[in-house]
Amino acid sequence: MRRLSPDHIEVLRLAFFQGAAHSEIARHLDLPLGTVKSRIRKAMIKLRIALEPLRGLE
């Protein structure tokens, strides 16, 4: 997760570790809902790319 921006880490933390709905995150961070959704999506893509080399170790 160190490769992610603070904005990406924050939305992932709220969504996946605190279980907040996207609309709750948008209100909490005072962001449009679309921005929250796109940040979560971009963060997940970056995580997937970062973890891809580990797939061969299964």
**Residue 39 is part of a domain; what is its CATH number?**
1.10.10.10
Q: Which domain holds residue 15?
A: 6-52
Number of domains in the chain: 1
Q: How far apart are the first and last CA of the chain?
A: 20
From residue 17, give the alpha-carbon distance in Å to each of 9, 10, 29, 58. Answer: 11, 10, 16, 25
pLDDT at 39: 97
pTM of the model as a whole: 0.85
What's the confidence (pLDDT) of residue 16? 95
Tens-place pLDDT, residues 6-55: 999 999 999 999 999 999 999 999 999 999 999 999 999 999 998 887 77
In a domain, 57, yes or no: no
Task: Look at residue 58 and tell me whether its pLDDT is greater than 80.
Answer: no
The CA dihedral of 50, 52, 53, 58, to the nearest 10 degrees, is 130
Residue 38 lies in a domain: yes
